[in-house]
Amino acid sequence: MATAENPLLRVLPRSREEDSKGAVLRHAANELVFAVVGHVGSGTSEIAKALKESLDDPALPGGVFNVELLKASDVIIDWARECGESLPDKNTQGLAHTTKLQDLGDKMRSTPTATGEPDHSAVAGRLILKIRESRARQLGISLSGTDPVLPDGARRAYILDSLRHPAEVQLLRHVYQDAFVLIGVVCEESKRLERLQEKFGDSGKDAILRFMKRDAEAQEKHGQKVAKTFHLSDFFVDNTVSRWREHSVNNPDWDTLEKLGRLVKILTHSEIVRPEVGEIAMHHAYAAMMQSACLSRQVGAALADRAGNIVATGTNEVPKAGGGVFMGSGVTWSKNGALPS
């Protein structure tokens, strides 16, 4: 006679001495998956390394994380080797080298799958396999077919540098759910152009501008779409200010490490972290956005004073036949910082 085991029985307390909370904690994965996204020149690799520093901090409550940093460019090159594609010249590190990687990434996302359709999340799929391989290596388990490699409760973090397409975010969120965090790297365009000119100065300004445009919003569906991917971020850090001054001297105005440390505290619940004024305003802006009936693009906005009081919220709306808009003015004013009921 065949019997089916109730999966909940594996989570229940082992004895009367162990409470339900202890049973849940005993089965906690304790793994986090981070990914960074930012326009070229914003410094995503620098942010990925800084995040690793925050997770490696010995003062972190609950202990440090075992951190694995995985690069999207590496899985693209692995795919190219397997498919017999020509690889970038190892002796060339200029704009031509980076553009070749863009071409390979686009081709990887456009290659038909078994269903005949292209997989725009192909890079993320390879990164997921890299995470599986890393976990198996750390657990001393040999990979066998498609068997799952389950976490053992140890603190581990995987940092993916970097995503370039919204489909990659969607796949990672589907697989890792609440354990996945996307970090958007903010940087002023003028500063990004300055950095790219320092790095690829021989290529000329026009070529660099074309490179930046393609990175932000390629025409092809399988191309890089960093602008759309960036707006899917869960947490934003500003990397406009450089970390280092001349002669590798620390820049005191660079506070990104502190911001990333705050993110880690939020995720690990090691401290009570209150939302900042900007985060409160974004919460209200998101709520306003959800009121829009526009099918193509919902936009919300919130106006706050220096103390964080919400002065007004607004959203785009759909025109109504005969004049006006579908749901009203789309703007709500508050009085003395309190929203009307």
For residue 215, what pLDDT is reported?
Answer: 95
Q: What is the pLDDT of residue 244?
A: 75
Burial class (CB in 10 A: 0-12, 13-18, 19+), 23: middle
Torsion of CA 146, 151, 152, 156, to 10 degrees: 140
Residue 316 DSSP label: -
Is the pLDDT confidence value at 6 over 60?
A: no
Higher pLDDT, 39 or 327: 39
Region 307-335: what's the mean pLDDT?
74
pLDDT in tens, 66-119: 999 999 999 999 999 999 999 887 667 789 899 999 999 999 999 999 889 999
Full set of structural domains in the chain with CATH: 28-273 (3.40.50.300), 275-341 (no CATH)
DSSP-based three-state secondary structure for 149: coil
Query: What torsion do the CA atoms of 235, 158, 269, 63 make, to the nearest 10 degrees?
Result: -140
